[in-house]
Amino acid sequence: MKTLITGATGQLGRLVVKHLLDQLPANDIAVSVRTPSKADDLAAKGIDVRHGDFNDLALMTAAFKDVETALIISAEDNNATRIKQHRTAVDAAKAAGVKHVVYTSIIDPRADADFTYSAIHLDTENYIKQSGLKHTLLRNSFYADILLAGVPHALETGDYGAPAGDAKITYIPRNDLAEAAAVVLANPDDHGNKTYDLTGTKGVTHTEIAGYIADATGKPVKFVDLPADIHTGILGSLGLPDHLVEALSGLYVGAKKGDYETISDDFETVVGRKPQSVEAFIKSALAS
């Protein structure tokens, strides 16, 4: 029986595979991907690459064959589509006889959250619980990695902009979240029917983040509190899909209400160390 990771050619999925290879032999690991040719490098390592698609119940059920523990990584689409996709993945896992499902959720999932994707995760969590499958819910806080997107503009202009006000968000590096997922996958019996809030060690403001960028680069950078409509316009001009623009805009609305200040030591409980701080993450990312 194998341990399977869905979406294994995505940014999070690849990192989970990397960490899981430190804990399990390659021939015990399977991955499900929509385009198997993009996983040729994983196949070369001895990993079992399978064709899967959350839009296809039969294909997904086949992908989950002879799998004991499966990581369902959240898809990327509008809310209605993703809710349906995630339910299909859960149905397929149950039909294939998967014993334990691990799911990448979001911190404090709520149907009425301003961060609109939150409703997807609440639905999926509830659907997994109703399935009767043994499960582990990884409630990930927001990736520190997204903070790097504004760095080139900040270094060029001196302004690091977001409609964040003085909101505090418990950002955590994607690599740390991937390691936590790999630990759970490698030791599923230790994490049955558990829910973990995986957050950074403190909530940071964007004023602090601008300071971290300045310290890491030696260049003057200050935080600029963008009006919400300007920020939304910028996101739209980048060609992002409307549902993503809506979600990212809502993130800051919710953050200003204190939605993402939650601090938990669950990461340390799972992995055995504290996650990398936002300051250290930015310093390391900008050192090259």
pLDDT by residue (tens digit) across 118-138? Answer: 999 999 999 999 999 999 999
Q: Using pLDDT thresholds of 50, 70 and 90, give the confidence band for residue 206.
A: very high
Query: Listing from the earlier edge strand, what are the strands of the sheet with 67-72?
Result: 48-51, 29-33, 2-6, 67-72, 100-106, 134-140, 194-198
Q: Which pLDDT tens digit goes with each residue over 55-95? A: 999 999 999 999 999 999 998 889 999 999 999 999 999 99
Residues 6+ apart with CB under 8 A from 282: 144, 147, 148, 209, 212, 213, 216
Residue pair 9/39 in contact (Cβ under 8 Å)? The answer is yes
Residue 197 has pLDDT above 90, yes or no: yes
Q: Which pLDDT value is given to residue 69? A: 98
Tell me what percent of the chain is helix, strand and coil, each rounded to the nearest 5.
50, 20, 35
Half-sphere exposure of 60 (CA within 13 A, CB side): 23
Give the residue from 254, 122, 131 showing the smallest Cα distance to 195.
122
The model's pTM is: 0.96
Query: Which string of DSSP letters, residue by residue, matches 6-60?
Result: ESTTSHHHHHHHHHHTTTS-GGGEEEEESSGGGGHHHHHTT-EEEE--TT-HHHH
Q: Using pLDDT thresholds of 50, 70 and 90, give the confidence band for residue 288.
A: low
Residue pair 266/147 in contact (Cβ under 8 Å)? The answer is no
Length of the chain equals: 288
Q: Which pLDDT value is given to residue 270? A: 98
In the chain, domain spans: 2-140+173-199+263-274
Burial of 91 (0-12, 13-18, 19+ CB in 10 A): middle
Q: Using pLDDT thresholds of 50, 70 and 90, give the confidence band for residue 236.
A: confident
Per-residue three-class SS string for 70-83: EEECCCCCCHHHHH
Q: Using pLDDT thresholds of 50, 70 and 90, give the confidence band for residue 51.
A: very high
Q: Which pLDDT value is given to residue 238? A: 84
Q: Which CATH code fits 2-140+173-199+263-274?
A: 3.40.50.720
Cα 26 to chain centroid, rounded:
23
Amino acid letter for position 94: K
Q: Which pLDDT value is given to residue 88? A: 98
